[in-house]
Amino acid sequence: MAYVTVIDEQNSAAAGPAANALPNSAGALFQLLRDGTPRTRSDLTAMTGFARSTISARVEELLDSSLIRPAGENSSTGGRPPSTFSFNPDARSVLAVDLGGTHARIAVTDLAARVLAEKEQELDITRGPVAVLDAVGAIAMELLQEAGRSPEDLLGVGVGVPGPVEFATGRPMSPPIMPGWDHFDIPGHLRQWFPGPIMVDNDVNAMALGEHAVTYPGVANMMFVKVATGIGSGIISDGRLQHGAQGAAGDLGHIATPDGDTTPCTCGNSGCLEAVASGPAIAAQLRESGFDVPHHAAMLELVRSGDLEALRTVRQAGRQVGSVLAGCVNLLNPSVIVIGGVVSTAGEHFLAGIREAVYSRSLPLATQHLRIVATQTKARAGVLGASTLVTGHGLSIENVNRLIG
């Protein structure tokens, strides 16, 4: 145990002594099959360099564990046709929980983050951890039954929460909008229903992970930006989700916009992005222009109705977001920026404003291959990411070796 930990910190490689008692290559083979593509034993020997006999033995183990399944035969190339097999996402399932400020989305997914059963429900996060998680547990049991799965069938549970999280322990850290949750042991409480590993992360981080896994699996450097009541982001650099030192990375909301705006922000500073381009900020600007938009929904409706003043306001908010993102692009040099959150549903004008500002203010080298796109996974991004959180760790080489052994 100590061994694995130490090595992971230092260089993240080599199997520990325990791993040596198990087939070492089964987990590695499995990683090659995880993309879902059917492959033959020959494919795998070519890809890995292992001997045919070794491949055959490990493939058989993986078939026995049902982590992979037969996928028919390829056509012959002059001799016996090779049999193929591929990842079997139905081998286990995952419970994915996405908690927002006012409602929760809970899903049971397979190992490829495909939703088997799902429910969205009003759930006020301010009711505190015990009440909220008890409700989540009850809904989850219903969904498992609906999907024909049991708690023992779960590879693990993934949870996204609207605040910073100490990832290693799964505890929220001074979350501003989650009274009563500070340092609460979320995995500890959920363990009464679910035996497997329970992973907790910030909701925007989860969304980034979900969009990445489902839509941009090969992209090493990506940002997911959520624009809603607040403005936050999840950062994937070098293929890994970045948490920062206190799990507070990705907070775009209180970065100052470059135009010297002095709108006061709830944080005490002025000119924060959240104060000028969030959902409430846009609604407030429209109210100043004389519109009757008491909340988000009304604002979005007004924009979708095509009102020119509303469109102009939304586009200008997009520019503000883009002006901050331009700095992020220079700093992180991502190849994809995904825009999500309710405000992004306002239409193309918001995205156009973002693009306009980013491409005019970032450096050519950083923007030449940069794509700025709207989320494909939309409201599901959170649960898909929570699912990915679990499979990312539960289907790692070490874990697969453990599952087989």
Q: Is 56 in the site for DNA (CB under 7 A)?
A: yes
**Binding site partner of 11, from DNA, a second copy, none, Cβ cut-off 5-8 A by kind:** a second copy
Enumerate residues 270-329 that contact DNA by CB under 7 A: none
Q: Is 242 in the site for a second copy (CB under 8 A)?
A: yes
- Work out which of 11, 12, 80, 364 binds DNA, going by CB under 7 A: 80
| Residues 114, 106: Cα–Cα separation, whole Å | 13
178-181 own/partner pairs: CB under 8 Å, 24+ apart: 178/125, 178/126, 179/126, 179/128, 180/126, 180/128, 180/129, 181/125, 181/128, 181/129
In the complex with DNA, the residue whose CB is nearer, 17 or 260, is 17
Phi-psi region for residue 31, left (φ > 0), alpha (ψ -120 to 50) or beta?
alpha
In the complex with a second copy, the residue whose CB is nearer, 310 or 354, is 354
Exposure b/e, 238-263, CB count within 10 A at least 16 = b? eeebebeeebebbbbbbbbbeeebee
- Amino acid code (one letter) for 296: H
Q: Is 10 in the site for DNA (CB under 7 A)?
A: no
Q: Is 83 in the site for DNA (CB under 7 A)?
A: yes
Enumerate residues 330-389 that contact a second copy by CB under 8 A: 330-335, 360-363, 365-366, 368-370
Segment contacting DNA by CB under 7 A, of 4-12, 55-63, 203-211, 295-303:
55-63
- Work out which of 96, 116, 198, 249 binds a second copy, going by CB under 8 A: 249
> Six-digit token pair at 394?
């539960």
The contacts of residue 362 (CB under 8 Å, 6+ apart) are 326, 329, 330, 370
Q: Is 168 in the site for a second copy (CB under 8 A)?
A: no
**Of 258, 260, 302, 256, the residue nearest 279 (C-alpha):** 302
Q: Is 36 in the site for a second copy (CB under 8 A)?
A: no
Using DSSP, state whether 79 is helix, strand or coil.
coil
Q: Is 403 in the site for DNA (CB under 7 A)?
A: no
- Work out which of 2, 12, 13, 17 binds DNA, going by CB under 7 A: 17
- Work out which of 11, 75, 76, 77 binds a second copy, going by CB under 8 A: 11
| Residues 30, 41: Cα–Cα separation, whole Å | 12
| Residues 382, 370: Cα–Cα separation, whole Å | 24
In the complex with a second copy, the residue whose CB is nearer, 40 or 233, is 233
Considering the complex, what minimum distance in angstroms separates the CB of residue 6 from a second copy?
6
Q: Is 252 in the site for a second copy (CB under 8 A)?
A: yes
Enumerate residues 23-52 that contact DNA by CB under 7 A: 23-25, 40-42, 49-52
Q: Is 295 in the site for a second copy (CB under 8 A)?
A: no
